[in-house]
Chain A
Amino acid sequence: MHRSLQRGVLVASRRSRRALGGVRWHGGPKVPNDAPTITVTFLQPDKTRKEVQARVGESLLQTAHRNEIDLEGACEGVCACSTCHLIMPQDLYDILPDPSEDEEDMLDMAFGLTDTSRLGCQVIVTKDMEGTEFKMPAATRNFYVDGHKPKPH
């Protein structure tokens, strides 16, 4: 923000938006505020359900963040991590456009991968997703035991 003010131009840089208390920038389509919305549900890791409004044309990661769903997006939605991993219902998974090779590569690293897993930043909301429930993977793996032994080589 400091530098952009020096230039005399309010550059909408990542940092200045945050300093102004704005929402952090995310990779993903720029969808206008008045875009049509549908109702979807997120099944959260603690098994509670949250019903939210999703804007048609935005990514599911953007939907989650706009509605304060606790879905991480470490790389900010540019398909460079697996933290926005969501589990689709089978029938939706079958009709979604195929994931790109890059998305498949990232999914390989996802925690709790399933047969119907997708990255939230790569799935775009469409009207026919009305009423869909997206499941967030639970973090249940127990890594840490006293006397942990590394895998033998």
Chain B
Amino acid sequence: MSALLCRVSRLRLQPSVRLSSFIYSLKFDLTHVPSRKTLLVNRKCFSSYKIAIVGSGPAGCYSAKYLKSSLDKQQHRAQIDVIERLPTPFGLVRYGVAPDHPEVKNVQNDFAALFEGTDESMETVNVRFLGNVKVGWDVTVTELRSIYDVVLLAYGCESDRRLILPGSHLPQILSAREFVAWYNGHPDFVHVGEQVSKALQVTAADTVESVRNAHVVVIGHGNVALDCARILAKGGQNLHDTDIASHTFPVIGGGISRISVIGRRGPIQGAFTIKEIRELVRLQREGYGTSFRVSPQELKAGMNESSLQEMEGLAGRPKQRICDLLQKAAASASETSECEKRVDLRFFLKPLRFETKEDDPSRLSAVICEKTALRGEPGRQKAIGTGEYESLYADLVLVSIGYKGTALRGVEPFFDEEIGIVRNRNGKVDHSNDFECGLYVAGWLKRGPSGIIGTNIPDAKDTVASIMQDLQVTKPRVQRAGDIDSILAERKIQVVVWEDYKRLDDYEQTHKRSDNQPREKVVSIKLQLEAALKFY
């Protein structure tokens, strides 16, 4: 009983609502206390828009931010529910950004401010975090559209572009997305560690400091590929003071001895940005015992006529600077000594098949590539095979050729299966009268998996502009099929609200392996829920 009283007293409710919800709560069996969210009642604002945003990553949070400010400016009352599958918010900011890029994660504070709120009764627009709610399972998109005025899909890309080649089924070939999720402690990818460990043939003799004598080939020329290479090169111990998941230490140890990053086209076509290249170039000078190599011949091949044109003007400035950096790195290679570990950035290599060991067909031995050359107009160059081949020894392959979106149930009619995005016009997906609820999209699910966190700013503004335009002619609906809190309570879903997440956040920041790390991530959903929903 006292636990229940404590629970009720901690709720931020209007006094009249607090009493009625306390009485309401007594109807329940006290040994099975319902989700706290059943006791938190939406303010009874009959002229209030109800908006659901599916996904709490940068797309969802920037959308919530700009929707809130637009609605505030026009003095509309609204409730914005940001619904997240995991108990933790912020999507790839938490599970994608590399552990050695902590300042990039500062944006979390901006997003957190949305959910903190001040005095709810003063807010015309209230933003709530509803974590541990799986849209598509716990509640469907169709159901959301029957209870909200606006549903905005911002759940990003949870799958991969596939590289289907002979041998690509081998267990030593992994998706880079899964590898990144693993080293960032994503609860759904803890199993990846064992796969990596087996591929690298880590034994009991390998310590958390020793370098793994293995070859890793990363296929792809984006920042995800470079992040993988850099984390593999640095190894676990050098990242001890970051929020990298502890389970990486026995696997990647002191780093991997040989890492090759390969791609079909040249340096100017690479999707990576200069900061990530510079970090690889600087690894040796910064004491990570890793040399960086790039081939002068491959750089020269990358300077064909069309590529030179791609480097022209202000739009070509980023490419020009990358080329200058790589030329310098190639030129100074002879001055830098060889280290125990090495990263090779390779160009003009197109993987054809994966070869297995002669004595063990279940083990990868090499990636067979065809050398390519560029053909085509600037901006549209293709990599054409030259008939020359190269075999790259490999124990582990990470395929990093792009994330890909998937369709939740109810979204299939609007989904482009080939590209993996939801078809839209300025973020507007469907506004048919069947639902009385507009469907919108923002982020990678809208434009494809490219760009950085900041790219979601103009993206979200674009979608919000579409929503606001539609809301000018739409009043909050009178008929709703229910409300999200009741539906989730009926289904016994353990919703993680913002205060619950703060408890988990606090736990991660106070149970650290090192004073200098920002947090020690809890890597199981069960333990996250325990830390979040625990009552002191």
Chain B residues with CB under 8 Å of A148's CB are 419, 421, 447-448
By beta carbon, the residue of chain B nearest A85 is B454
**A109 and B448 contact, CB distance less than 8 A:** no
State in angstroms the CA–CA spacing of A111 and B456 once bound together.
Answer: 11
**Residue A92 interfacial (CB < 8 Å):** no
Chain B: interface residue count, which band? 35 or more
Chain B residues with CB under 8 Å of A96's CB are none
State in angstroms the CA–CA spacing of A108 and B426 once bound together.
Answer: 25
State in angstroms the CA–CA spacing of A115 and B313 once bound together.
Answer: 10
State in angstroms the CA–CA spacing of A108 and B118 once bound together.
Answer: 38
Chain A residues with CB under 8 Å of B530's CB are none
**B425 and A14 contact, CB distance less than 8 A:** no
**Residue A95 interfacial (CB < 8 Å):** no
**A108 and B273 contact, CB distance less than 8 A:** yes
Write the B416-430 contact mask toward A (1 if CB under 8 angstroms, else 0). Answer: 100101011111000
Chain B residues with CB under 8 Å of A49's CB are none
Q: Which of A80, A102, A113 has the most CB of B within 10 A?
A: A80
Write the B83-107 contact mask toward A (1 if CB under 8 angstroms, else 0). Answer: 0000000000000000001011011
Chain B residues with CB under 8 Å of A150's CB are 419, 448
Q: Measured between C-beta atoms, what is the minimum distance from A107 to chain B in Å?
A: 9
Contact flag A105-B274 (CB < 8 Å), given A3-B509, A80-B101: yes
**B452 and A105 contact, CB distance less than 8 A:** no
Write the B497-516 contact mask toward A (1 if CB under 8 angstroms, else 0). Answer: 00000100010011000000
**A82 and B101 contact, CB distance less than 8 A:** no
Contact flag A108-B458 (CB < 8 Å), given A19-B116, A148-B421: no
**A74 and B116 contact, CB distance less than 8 A:** no
**Residue B109 interfacial (CB < 8 Å):** yes
Chain B residues with CB under 8 Å of A19's CB are 116
**B265 and A153 contact, CB distance less than 8 A:** yes
15 contacts between A and B (CB under 8 A): A18-B113, A75-B103, A75-B104, A76-B107, A76-B109, A108-B274, A108-B317, A109-B318, A139-B461, A141-B458, A143-B447, A144-B427, A148-B421, A149-B419, A150-B448
**A153 and B425 contact, CB distance less than 8 A:** no
Q: Which 9 A-B pairs have the closest CB atoms?
A: A139-B458, A108-B318, A80-B103, A74-B107, A76-B106, A83-B454, A105-B275, A143-B447, A78-B103
20 further A-B contacts with Cβ under 8 Å, apart from A80-B104, A142-B426, A146-B425, are A3-B506, A18-B113, A18-B116, A72-B454, A73-B110, A75-B107, A78-B103, A78-B106, A82-B454, A104-B321, A105-B321, A106-B275, A108-B274, A108-B321, A109-B318, A113-B314, A143-B462, A144-B425, A145-B425, A151-B379
Residues in A lying within 8 Å of B, measured CB to CB: 2-3, 14, 18-19, 21, 24-25, 72-76, 78, 80-83, 101-102, 104-106, 108-109, 111, 113-115, 139, 141-153
**Residue B177 interfacial (CB < 8 Å):** no
By beta carbon, the residue of chain B nearest A78 is B103
Chain A residues with CB under 8 Å of B103's CB are 75-76, 78, 80
Residues in B lying within 8 Å of A, measured CB to CB: 101, 103-104, 106-107, 109-110, 112-113, 116, 118, 264-265, 273-275, 278, 314, 317-318, 321, 379-380, 382-383, 416, 419, 421, 423-427, 446-448, 452-455, 457-459, 461-462, 502, 506, 509-510
Chain B residues with CB under 8 Å of A142's CB are 426, 462
By beta carbon, the residue of chain A nearest B382 is A152
Q: For B314, give its contact among A76, A78, A114 (CB under 8 Å).
A: A114
Q: For A144, give its contact among B274, B419, B424, B453 (CB under 8 Å).
A: B424
State in angstroms the CA–CA spacing of A2 and B421 once bound together.
Answer: 42
Chain A residues with CB under 8 Å of B110's CB are 24, 72-74, 76
Q: Measured between C-beta atoms, what is the minimum distance from A53 to chain B in Å?
A: 23
Q: Measured between C-beta atoms, what is the minimum distance from B65 to chain A in Å?
A: 9
State in angstroms the CA–CA spacing of A100 and B379 once bound together.
Answer: 29
**A146 and B380 contact, CB distance less than 8 A:** no
Contact flag A139-B314 (CB < 8 Å), given A75-B106, A108-B274: no
**B459 and A143 contact, CB distance less than 8 A:** yes
**A139 and B101 contact, CB distance less than 8 A:** no
Q: Measured between C-beta atoms, what is the minimum distance from B102 to chain A in Å?
A: 9
